[in-house]
Amino acid sequence: MGIANYFDSDPNFTAVQETELVRLTKALRQLIDHTVKLNAPLETLSQLADTAESMAATMQPYSGVRPIAAHNKHFRPDDVNWSGPYSPVAGRCNPLSPPIQMVLREEKAIGTVTFGDAYEGPPNCVHGGMVALTWDHVMALANMLINARGPTAWLHVDYKKPTPLYAPLRFEAWIDKVEGKKIFIKGACYANNEIVTEASGLFINTVIKNIGVEEEMLRQDMLRGTGENSDDRHPLHPSRFTAD
């Protein structure tokens, strides 16, 4: 999928359509939650499978191009959750997301979320990989506190206690220090007023800044495959990002 679709929305996609897409996503999220603990009679399972297959077939012709930009060019501090509507952590348009609710407040990126059965690792606990994924999203959003954007160079999570399912969690991340384009971030996650995980990470403020895209990147994307560009790397290829 090209970068243009990554940062641009379909101008013909209406607000009413957007509302219905979010409503559909919520329903699909409920289906996932029900499915991971479903124990139904054979006839019911067969009917549900037929319905799901029919839905998938109906959706398939319309799937392929996002109607809403995956990352908004214009950052809205009053609604940071729309910065990534397809995020697997916060995306309102991604049924895999819990979704976490993010705010920027008091020099912190704060996320609140309650994980259900679909995210279980150990009994009654959130899977550690899901915790790390959530930290990556929360810390990435913390970059916006200083109007920066860029990829994760490294991420470290200390699992102090099991992270419980079904309990409200509060992730807090803040800028620890900045060295040139290196942004060091720290954070703590609370459950029942106790710290369950702590995290630290390094992010690189580089190609993507202020949720915009350099014109040269778009030009290279358009030239991809034409032979006009001797550099075969995609503009967002990981090898373009360094921590120097």
- Residue 70: pLDDT band (50, 70, 90) is confident
What's the pLDDT score for residue 34?
Answer: 96
d(CA 56, CA 215): 37
What's the pLDDT score for residue 30?
Answer: 96
Could you state, in order of their start, the residue ranges of all structural domains in the chain? Answer: 3-62, 80-204
- Nearest CA to 10 out of 79, 80, 78, 62 is that of 62
- Residue 116: pLDDT band (50, 70, 90) is very high
- Residue 221: pLDDT band (50, 70, 90) is very low
Query: Which of the two residues, 82 and 192, has the higher pLDDT score?
Result: 192
What's the pLDDT score for residue 8?
Answer: 81
What's the pLDDT score for residue 150?
Answer: 85
Which helix (H) or strand (E) element contains residue 42?
Answer: helix 42-59
pLDDT at 211 exceeding the cut of 90: no
What's the pLDDT score for residue 147?
Answer: 83
**Topology annotation, domain 80-204:** Thiol Ester Dehydrase; Chain A (3.10.129)
Mean pLDDT within 214-232: 44
Average pLDDT score over the chain: 85
d(CA 235, CA 231): 9
- Residue 129: pLDDT band (50, 70, 90) is very high
Query: By mean pLDDT, which of 12-21, 126-135, 164-173, 211-220 is the weakest?
Result: 211-220
